[in-house]
Amino acid sequence: MRTQPTRNRYHSALRGIVSAIVALLLVGTGAAQGPKLKDIEKAIASCNRVADITPDLRISGCTSIIESAAETRQARAIAYNNRGNAYVKKGEYDRAIEDFDQAIKADPNYAKAFNNRGVAYQRKGEYDHALQDFNQSIRLDPASPGVFANRADYYRWKGDYDRALRDYDEAIRFQPALEGVWNGRCWVKAILGDLPAALSDCNESLRLEPNIAAAFDSRGLVNLKMGRWDAALADYNSALQLEPTLASSLYGRGQIKLKRGDLTGGNADIAAAIALEPKVETNFTRYGAK
């Protein structure tokens, strides 16, 4: 199973630096320094902007704040955190981790910086470090739905489905419309065998986000395990229409074609799935879907 990207989970630490920080940051800029004042205001806007801005422009704005002689500790923590998020978006995870380290050094109680560093570690494949950061973020902010969702993804990857389920429950309790959590919980319930509840979660996921291949893929697995071949085939076809190289949907569709006597089509889908993801057959056996 491949969940959709989680934009909401590693967003900027704060959507904007509060006016008090801006005032402190700009202390000492007189009328003769008007252009400099405008430059700093522009840098603040770029550093805190998430949508409709390139990572490089965001990095440039945050760097200007970090290098400003008038910076405050809190402004520095936010700027490092936001620049780290931009590096994550570029796939430069080591540089992102260095920035999150600096954000945490500036503010050791900065829960979102721990979460964002955990995301960077997770992207690097350093899962134990990621878990430590997610745990610390939750200790500092026990009501953060995005961190529970990230930790749930970690537990799901580890195969600790009971813990994953508990964390998805918490994420949904705090923010029912959070991206990806209904799909993640659907998948876990499907593996645990709670198929009616899994189907309900997948339906809710698709109601909230109707064009997500991963959610159709998850519901396809549920319907496959329930023996609902027509419904499963429709879901896998929908997933593949949105994402033609989704290995789990190709493999699931191949299984259904074989069950319905289409040996040529079924074997072709399964071969294509294994070529894309060699472990897909082992995974389906583990899911109880063969």
Q: How far apart are CA 66 and CA 68, in angstroms?
A: 6
Residue 48 is predicted with a pLDDT of 80
- Say what the pTM is: 0.81
Residue 71 is predicted with a pLDDT of 65
| Percent of the chain whose predicted confidence (pLDDT) is above 70 | 85
Residue 69 is predicted with a pLDDT of 65
Place of tokens 């876990």: 188
The per-residue pLDDT for range 196-235, each reduced to its tens digit, is 999 999 999 999 999 999 999 999 999 999 999 999 999 9
What spatial distance separates the first Cα and last Cα of the chain, rounded to whole Å? 15
In this structure, is the dihedral angle defined by the CA atoms of residues 209, 214, 217 and 219, taken in order, positive or negative? negative
Question: Is pLDDT above 60 for 121?
Answer: yes
Question: Is pLDDT above 50 for 17?
Answer: no
Q: How far apart are CA 5 and CA 184, in angstroms?
A: 12
Residue 36 is predicted with a pLDDT of 57
Residue 1 is predicted with a pLDDT of 53
Mean pLDDT of the chain: 87
Categorize the per-residue pLDDT at 6 as very low, low, confident or very high, splitting at 50, 70 and 90: very low
Q: Parse the chain into domains and list their residue ranges.
A: 206-290
Question: Is pLDDT above 60 for 258?
Answer: yes
Contacts of 143 by beta carbon, 8 Å cutoff, 6+ apart: 174
Residue 66 is predicted with a pLDDT of 86
Question: Is pLDDT above 80 for 32?
Answer: no
Q: How far apart are CA 109 and CA 132, in angstroms?
A: 15
Question: Is pLDDT above 70 for 20?
Answer: no
Residue 29 is predicted with a pLDDT of 41
Identify the top-confidence range among 25-29, 33-37, 79-83.
Answer: 79-83
Categorize the per-residue pLDDT at 38 as very low, low, confident or very high, splitting at 50, 70 and 90: low
Contacts of 11 by beta carbon, 8 Å cutoff, 6+ apart: 50, 85, 146
Contacts of 6 by beta carbon, 8 Å cutoff, 6+ apart: 146, 149, 150, 153, 179, 180
Which CATH code of 1.25.40.10, 1.10.1060.10, 1.10.357.10, 3.20.20.100 fits the domain covering 206-290? 1.25.40.10
Question: Is pLDDT above 70 for 46?
Answer: yes
